[in-house]
Amino acid sequence: MGKTYTRPNSMKDVLTHYCPGCGHGMVHRIICEVIDELDVRETTIAVAPVGCAVLAYDYWNFDTTEAAHGRTPAVATGIKRIHPDKLVFTYQGDGDLAAIGTAETIHAGNRGENISIIFVNNGVYGMTGGQMAPTTILGQITATSPYSRRSEKEGFPLKIMEMMAVLPGVTYLERTMLTSPKEVIKTKKAIKRSFKRQLDKKGFSMVEILSPCPTYWGLSPLESIKRIENEVVATYPVGVIKEDK
């Protein structure tokens, strides 16, 4: 930590709409810190998802577009092919990336598109009222799994990162979380690594971030962090899942 610390220049000076204790705010700030440190604010083009972070372009101080739900990696593919020298990243939630956008995620990775995906996994669809997501863990009660998620009825939480690891086009995958300063700093390192790899043309990379959603977990912000450490991590272990040279 430098001696002084102020809001990153790549972050607009506005209040966000996110709920108290929501992880999106942290991830937004971390991304902006990385972009400032890499000095790429003026050459970054981001693609916001449909979900709680759909308003990301109101908070970021760099070019941003917003894709149809799930099509974020396809939009990013189009942008990156036209501007191969720009830093292009998508910012997606679990529904956007691992439900409706599963095919786009897998095929962007399989084509080895030289883009970065920042994947915020909070286990529910937040924008629409806390419905079950592909990443909802077994036993978790949501607006659409009132009897809790049961594997025989609602299937299993999807491990999209582990699925992506088998694709040769995918060169770096890491899952982190936001539960303590140490873990947040690890998250920042992972995002920086993903962006640097892209700038070094090392191909497709994705960082999944386990993030608290106090509102739809029905917990306080601090209880939500505990839940990630005690329950979510068991299904979604953190760490580097893949890293080619």
Partner 1 sequence: MRRSKIKYLSTGNEACGEGALRAGCRFYAGYPITPQNELTAYMSRRMEEENGTFIQAESELAAINMVFGASVAGARAMTSSSSPGISLKQEGISYIAGAELPAVIVNIMRGGPGLGNIAASQSDYFQATKGGGHGDYRSIVLAPATVQEMFDFTYDAFSLADKYRNPVMILADGMLGQMMEPLAFDDNIKPSGIIPKPWALTGAEGRKPLSAKSLRLGSGKNSLERHNERLQEKYKNIERSEIKTELYKTDDAAKIIVAYGSPGRIGRSCVDTMRDDGDAIGLVRLKTLWPFPYAEIRKLAERGCEFLVVEMSAGQMVEDVRLAVQDDNKVSFYGRMGGGIPEEEVIIKKLKNRG
Partner 2 sequence: MGKKKYKLKIDRERCKGCLFCAEACPLKALSISDDVNGRGLKYVVLSSPEKCTKCGLCVVMCPDCAIEIVEEE
Binding region for partner 2 (CB under 8 A): 1, 3-8, 11, 15-16, 18-26, 29, 180-181, 184-185, 214, 221-222, 225
Nearest to 97 by CA among 150, 173, 193: 173
Pick 206 or 225: Cβ nearer partner 1: 206
Query: What is the closest distance, in whole angstroms, from the C-beta atom of residue 60 to partner 2 in the complex?
Result: 13
What is the C-alpha separation between 152 and 237, in angstroms, rounded?
23
| Binders in 65-94 for partner 1, by CB under 8 A | 65-68, 71, 74-83, 86
The span of 42-50, 188-196, 216-224, 228-236 binding partner 1 (CB under 8 A) equals 42-50
Query: What is the closest distance, in whole angstroms, from the C-beta atom of residue 143 to partner 1 in the complex?
Result: 22
What letter does residue 41 receive in the DSSP assignment? G
Pick 99 or 213: Cβ nearer partner 2: 213
Using CA atoms, how far residue 152 sits from 33, 98, 141, 157, 162, in Å, is: 43, 20, 15, 12, 22
Residue 189: Cβ within 10 Å count = 15
Pick 73 or 214: Cβ nearer partner 1: 73
What is the C-alpha separation between 235 and 23, in angstroms, rounded?
19
| 37, 82 contact by CB (below 8 A) | no
| Contacting positions for partner 1 (CB under 8 A) | 41-45, 47-48, 54-55, 57-58, 60-68, 71, 74-83, 86, 103-104, 106-107, 111
